[in-house]
Structure 1
Amino acid sequence: MTGWDAIRAAIEMTLRGEREQGGRAMAACWDVTGEADDAQRCVLAHYLADVQGDLDAEVEWDERALASYVRVGDGDLAEIGIPSARGLAPSLHLNLGDGYLRQGRLAEARVQLEAGQLAQHLLGSGGYAELVREGLDRLAAKIEAAGAAMATPATPVPSAAAPLGGTMT
């Protein structure tokens, strides 16, 4: 198990723009966490997803964050300034839904969007809450647009074998 101080320092490094170094520090913290360190793993995976250069790896970290989250007690993140861990749920669902959408997994993106929307009452008020709510709204619009694009029949393209405006003789 690693301490919250090391995790906070690694995350702060990343947030300051030291993405590569922060990513390595967070990965090192992850490596010393154990299966029972759900709160730390949830937070680390949540931030590790953001430093991935590959969409599939990003989504895998987002999935890990959500898998760990379900075992986090409501007060388990108080030490890092999150009084109620329940308030993290909308952000976790938002990130995973966005990743699924970018992978073309529209149905799974919708499931995550709905879960995030159902949990947004846990956010409270303030800048972070508004940021997540706006993110959920943007994700909903993107999913709607993607669904509409998939439902719209393609415009027929004239065959190269037949001349325009007539039939072949």
Structure 2
Amino acid sequence: MDEVGGGDVTMERIGEAIALLQSGDAAGARRRFDELWAAIGEDGDAFHRCVLAHYMADVQDDPHEELAWDLRALEAADSLTDARVQQHHATLAVRGFYPSLHLNVAAAYEKVGAPDRARTHLAKARAHTDALGDDAYGEGIRGALDRLEERLAAEAATGAR
């Protein structure tokens, strides 16, 4: 979900906001994401909603708000088709979104103190890892899943949360 292009003005604007976030301007990115969300709306294009909500979660200060945005991204992905995402980039498949989306939901559930729900989404993320490439992105997601699994196991062992 990192590539932006294809003549889609909304995706170009989302990409600009992502660039703000990646440059360290989380407040500026959040303002842009807010404006874009208002324009797209709850019933707007599922691809736009998925990508925007995925990144909007990253600029939340409150872990419950982060979780809400991660769940919005996942919900939008559930209504996507490969044909729609391939309008953005020919190599994309919706299945490839799920490892990252479920990882983010799992991590957010961990933050809000819901380890059982975190484990559920961790398992869902793992069920889709075959959609990841053998590249830096895929290795990054797999590594993050491993680290989350280790934290959840340690919390369970110590009775934390």
Q: Please report how far the alpha carbon of residue 80 of structure 1 lies from its aligned counterpart in structure 2 after TM superposition.
A: 5.6
After superposition, the C-alpha distances for 1:68-112 in whole angstroms (9 at most, x for unaligned) are 110111243341686223211101111110111121101100100
TM-score normalised by the chain length of structure 1: 0.83
Query: Hey, what does 2:125 align to over in structure 1?
Result: 116
1:61 paired residue among 64, 69, 81: 69
For residues 1-169 of structure 1, what are the structure 2 equivalents within 5 Å?
A: 3-34=10-41, 35-78=43-86, 79=88, 83-150=92-159
> Between Structure 1 and Structure 2, whose CA radius of gyration is higher?
1
Unaligned residue ranges in structure 1 (runs of 5+): 152-169
- The one-letter code sitting in structure 1 at the alignment partner of 2:45 is D
Give me the whole-angstrom Cα distance separating, in 2, the residues matched to 1:33 and 1:110. Answer: 32
Give me the whole-angstrom Cα distance separating, in 2, the residues matched to 1:20 and 1:112: 29
In 2, Cα distance between the equivalents of 1:72 and 1:123? 18
Corresponding letter in the other structure for 1:52: Q
Q: Which amino acid aligns with 2:142?
A: R
SS at match of 2:117: helix
AA paired with 1:53?
D
Aligned-partner residue type, residue 116 of structure 1: A
Give TM-score scaled by structure 2 length: 0.87
Q: Is the 8 A contact 1:96 1:112 kept in 2?
A: yes
Identity percentage of aligned residues: 35
List structure 1 segments (4+ residues) > 4 angstroms apart after TM superposition. Answer: none
Alpha-carbon separation, structure 1, partners of 2:39 and 2:28? 17
- Structure 1 stretch displaced more, 141-150 or 111-120: 141-150
Task: Identify unmatched segments of 5+ residues in structure 2.
Answer: 1-8
Which AA in structure 2 matches 1:14? L
| Higher relative contact order structure (alpha carbons within 8 Å, sequence separation ≥ 6) | 2
Q: CA RMSD in A?
A: 1.9
Q: Secondary structure of 1:125's match?
A: coil
